[in-house]
Amino acid sequence: MAKVFDKGLVINILSLLAYRGASFIFPLVTLPYLARVLGVEHMGLLALGLACVMYCSTISDWGFNVYTTKDIAHHRDDPARVTQLFWSTFNAKLLMGCSTLSVLLLATWFRPQWHHLFFIVLANSTVLFGGLFSFGWLMQGYEKLGKTAIISTIGQFCSIPLTFLLVKGPDDTWLAALIPGLTMIISALITLVFVVRMRVIGFYRFEPAEIWQRIKDSVHVFLAIFGANMFNNINVLILASVTSTYMVGLYNGADRLKKAANSLPEQIGNAFFPRVSFLFHRDRAAAIASTRKSISFSFLISLFIVLFTFCFADLIVRILLGPEFHESANVLRIAVCGFIFGNVSYPAGLQILIPHGLARQRMYVMLAAGLINLPVCGLLAWQFGAIGAASSLVLAEFLVFAGVVWLMAKHGILKEYLARDPAAVLETSQGENA
C-alpha cells in the first residue's frame, strides 16, 4: 500500500494552514482594535459589505478550487493538460468575477438604502482580484504550498500595521475593508513569479469551449458551495433584514472568532484532498486510510475547540472584542458546535463523495440544507437575534452531516471507511462485482 502520511504531507498541511489560515488568524490580531474603534454598529456594516463580496468570490471560484485541484493532481504529469486546465480555469474565474462584481456595485450605487455599502463593497472587491491571482488551486494540486504560504503569511502580516495606522474611527470602515484585499494582491503577484518559475504552464490560451467545459464540470461543486453559503454568509444578510446592524455586529464578532478557531481543522481536510485524489485510482486502500486520518484529526481538534470555547468564551470575547461585545460569547458557544458536524462532512464530501462520482448527490444535500436554513434562520433570528442565526447555522451543519452519512450508506461506501481492514473489504467487493 502506498505511504499515506509522510513528511511531504505534514509540510503541505502546515503550508496550507498558513496559506488559508493566515486570512483568519492575522485579522484576529487586529480584531480587538477594530471592535473598539469601529463599535458594534459599524462592525455590523463591515460584515454586510464583506458578505456581499463573499458571494461574488463564491461565483468567481465556481468550485474550481475543488474540481480543478482534483484534475491537476490527477494530470500533473501531463504539462499540456495542466496548461489547458490552468488557462480555462483562470479565464472562467476572471469573466464570472468581473460580471458579478459589476452587478453588485451597480445595485449598491443605484439603490438608496444600499448606497452606504457601495464604498465598503468597492474597497473589499480587491479581495476578489487578489484571490484570482493567488493560484492556490494550482499549488495545492501539485502539493507545493511552502513558498506561497510564506508569501501569503507575510502579506497578511502587513495588514496588521496598516490597520493600526489607517483605521482611526467609524468613518474609516471602508479602509478596514480595503486592507485585506491590498495585502492579497501583493501576495498574489509575488506568487505569480513562483508559478512562472515552476514551468508547468504554457503560453496564454483562450478557448471558449474549454472554458464552458470547465464551468459545466464544476457546476455541482459550485452549487454545493453555494448551498453551504446559504447557511454561512447569508445568515448575516437575513439577520440584518429582520433585526439591526447592532445585532449583526454581535454575530460578526462571534463569527470572526469562530472562523479563526476553525482554521486548523478545516485546512487539514484541504491538505489531504490532493493526496487522496492522487491515490484514489492508484491505491484505493491507501486513499481510504488517508481519508480516515484526515477526518479523525479534524474531528478531535474540533471537539477540543468546542469544549474549550464553552469554558472560556466569556474571557475570549472580553479580551478580543471588548465589554461592548459581551453578548457575543453565547453566540460563539453555539456557533462552534457546528465544527463537530462540518469538519466531518466537509472532508468526507471532498475525499469520499466526489472521488466516488457523487458530486451531484453531495450538491443536493448542501442545497437542501441551505434551503431549509433560509426560513429557519429568518424565524430564529427574528425571535432570538444573533443566537437564533447561530443556532440555525448549527442545524444546517448537522443536516449536511446526516445527508453525507446517508449517501455513503446508501451507495455501500460507509462500510469501506469504517472497516478495520479496508483492503480486505475492497477485495471482497471487487470479487462480488466480478
Is 232 inside a domain boundary? yes
Alpha helices in 125-172 (DSSP H): 126-132, 136-141, 146-166
Domain count, the chain: 1
In this prediction, residue 2 carries a pLDDT of 45
155 is in which domain, residue-wise?
7-424
Is 15 inside a domain boundary? yes
User: Per-residue DSSP letters for 184-244?
Assistant: HHHHHHHHHHHHHHHT---S----HHHHHHHHHHHHHHHHHHHHHHTTTTHHHHHHHHHS-
Per-residue pLDDT of the chain (434 residues; tens, 9 = 90+): 445 455 555 655 666 555 555 666 666 778 888 888 988 888 888 888 888 888 788 788 777 777 777 778 777 778 888 888 888 888 988 888 889 899 889 988 887 777 778 889 999 888 888 888 877 777 767 766 666 667 777 777 788 888 999 999 988 999 999 998 888 888 788 878 777 777 778 788 788 888 888 888 777 777 777 776 666 678 888 888 888 888 988 998 898 889 888 877 877 766 677 667 677 777 778 888 888 888 888 899 999 999 999 999 999 999 988 888 999 999 999 999 999 999 999 888 888 888 888 888 888 888 889 889 999 999 999 999 999 999 999 999 999 999 999 999 998 888 888 876 665 555 555 555 54
In this prediction, residue 18 carries a pLDDT of 58
Is 434 inside a domain boundary? no
Given a contact cutoff of 8 angstroms between Cβ atoms, the answer to whether 227 and 370 are in contact is yes
Is 228 inside a domain boundary? yes
Is 302 inside a domain boundary? yes
**Ramachandran bin of 421, using left for φ above 0, alpha for ψ from -120 to 50, beta for the remaining angles:** beta
Is 123 inside a domain boundary? yes
Given a contact cutoff of 8 angstroms between Cβ atoms, the answer to whether 387 and 378 are in contact is no
Distances (CA, A) of 8 to 12, 22, 277, 408: 6, 20, 16, 29
Measured distance CA(20)–CA(31) in Å, rounded: 18
In this prediction, residue 1 carries a pLDDT of 47
Look at the block and give the residue holding cell 427574528.
382
